[in-house]
Amino acid sequence: MNDFKISSFEDYQKKYDQSVANPVVFWENIAKEFTWEKFPKQLLNWDFQTGITKWFEDGELNITVNLLDRHLADKANQTALLWEPNELDEDTISYTYSQLHQAVCKFANALDKIGVKKGDRVCIYMPMIPELTIAMLACARIGAIHMVVFAGFSANALQDRMIDCEPKIVITADGLRRGNKQIELKSIVDKALEKIDFVKNVIIFNALNMDIQMQHSRDLWWNDVVKSESTIFHPIRTSGEDPLFILYTSGSTGKPKGVVHAVAGYMIYTAYTFMNVYQYEPNDVFWCTADIGWITGHSYIVYGPLACGATTMMFEGIPTYPEANRFWQIIEKHKVSQFLTAPTAIRSLMAYGKEYVEPFKLKSLKVIGSVGEPINEEAWLWYHEYVGKKKCAVVDNWWQTETGGVMISALGNISPLKPTYAGLPLPGVQPVLLDVQGQEIKEANVEGFLCMKFPWPSIIRTTFGDHERCRVNYFSQYPGYYFSGDGAKRDENGMYRIIGRIDDVINVSGHRFGTAEIENAINLNDAVIESAVVGYPHDIKGQAIYAYVVIESSAFEMDQTSLIRSIHESVANAIGKVAIPEIIQIVHSLPKTRSGKIMRRILRKIAEGEIEQIGDTSTLLDPSVVSEISKDSKKIKSI
């Protein structure tokens, strides 16, 4: 695997240069590391004007052969999948590569028997249990297209996604556990299916022994459909460009977009980035805390690690149950080597205090990662000091559902690190910064719109059933480029700092500020846990800055004027007085999706006084937060 694994920073520089000089040859050599029924001759066909990219189109393979079968010769008894339950007193479940292969084949046979064929869509709405991974891989083995929906979305959200892609079957469970809560999933599925007639069967895994309603002839128990099936299922051949899965991502307006990823390019890119960003070694244990309902779970719990023959772990629970030391207990229990979580989780655990993490040595850790949004400096430093014990690299990943895998990041302990900077692009990734006119910005320390000028293997192929939406969203803004929708800054060493979504950029009196940059400055204040910043119309400045700030419990006892002045000082010191918020509202919590994403669109509507236009809040972790913020009068003008 000489072309596959990057061994030093000098090696990275050499391989990056090769990948830019001749990207097709570079990715062809990586592709040779995998098992093909027919190696592709047509390596790349692309046109950013139309938003069409095809990699390895005439190649033939099955992705599960690369995730499972090819490891059976030397890794049959190695642990492939570790599962840590929600409850402390329950046993961990593990699958070797041999056992996971057998379980996937049994379920693939069951799907085949009820009529699921290549190209059919399958909706998966399950807890974070091993059967979720098994269901995904069984779909891939049969050539069906899986569409995983986070098992926390409402019946309406589930229904919208099913109406868009028309799955033949739904796979779910009776219920799920998350912390001290239990949620009945089957009843949510039943409600979602009330106006749907194209779903032939619902397969239910009995996870919690709940008393659920079964619909005759439609509903089937998982254990019943697999019990007599063979542990052998010959994989269906797919082309390199056959769709592997659809994953829905919400836009700021309109219905969710069904992002489509293709078999070969996605497999190759997720495996390559997993191996190099996390510098995975044999016998390491990799743990990504994301939910598989999101792209991070797809790429870095399932596909990337298994394609590399790694041991990957999934966790059913939450970081604060039963105590705020659960993550650290699990790391020590399983001797986790690489750990990936979200800045939201890090900041949440910071708020509980370092006493929850300090007693743990965490000696097994080598690399710790951050993903999902830009990480502020205070959280980065806390993570590095208390979790990484100042010996682990903090790899701050930048990527998107649409990119399929990590695009910009440090590589384990071999790349330079800089708090708040994601770092350097991965080999094969060619980022540029564009100005408003679409001209490339060559200077350092100037911000611009982050775009890509050449396709990588796991780039979005289309939005399901509506390619024009894909073209307009990602390829029309700056013709000839993939438009990420993010703003970024590049330093004199070529390292990138993500400053937030373009629609999260505030223009105050001609000065453009990324919301992430202002939030980072606010969060440096000792009294602040986290913040969210939006712009709102201002008669004189055009836009002004409105900050929603969550403070430490002890800070509620402070004089409000002193508290606000100290926050102003934090912003002035980090950015300048021109970035001081016009209004600061102290809140108990922020509106977030269940994946931890702050819904700034909702906060913007509140700031603009358009509360009646907020729309559906059912997919939020806690919808009541919105009404609390809307009614709250603790808004303090700039002092």
**Residue 75 CB partners (closer than 8 Å, separation 6+):** 97, 309
Query: What is the percentage of the chain residues whose pLDDT exceeds 70?
Result: 95
**Residue 503 CB partners (closer than 8 Å, separation 6+):** 252, 485
Please determine, for residue 553, whether its predicted confidence score (pLDDT) is greater than 90: no
Q: What does the pLDDT average to over 441-447? A: 92
The tokens describing 18, both together, are 């090769």
The CA-atom distances, in angstroms, between 601 and each of 527, 545, 594 are 25, 14, 16
Q: How many CA atoms lie less than 13 Å away from 345 in the CB half-sphere?
A: 25
pLDDT confidence bin for 636, thresholds 50/70/90: low
Virtual torsion, Cα 535, 536, 541, 545, nearest 10 deg: -40
pLDDT tens-digit readout, 220-238: 999 999 999 999 999 999 9
Q: Cα–Cα distance between 150 and 148 in angstroms, integer? A: 7
Determine the pLDDT at residue 510. Answer: 56
Q: What does the pLDDT average to over 605-634? A: 79
Q: Which helix (H) or strand (E) holds 112?
A: helix 97-113
pLDDT confidence bin for 635, thresholds 50/70/90: low
The CA angle 129-135-136, to the nearest 5 degrees, is 100
CB atoms within 10 A of CB 231: 13
pLDDT confidence bin for 633, thresholds 50/70/90: very low
Determine the pLDDT at residue 213. Answer: 95
The CA-atom distances, in angstroms, between 548 and each of 321, 523, 561, 590, 618 are 27, 11, 16, 8, 21
pLDDT confidence bin for 637, thresholds 50/70/90: low
Model pTM score: 0.85
Pairing of strands 505-508, 511-514: antiparallel
pLDDT confidence bin for 453, thresholds 50/70/90: very high
132-146, 219-233, 523-537: segment of lowest average pLDDT:
523-537
182-186, 509-513, 535-539, 555-559: segment of lowest average pLDDT:
509-513
pLDDT tens-digit readout, 356-369: 999 999 999 999 99
Q: Are 175 and 207 in contact (CB under 8 A)?
A: yes
Please determine, for residue 509, whether its predicted confidence score (pLDDT) is greater than 80: no
Q: What does the pLDDT average to over 140-147? A: 98
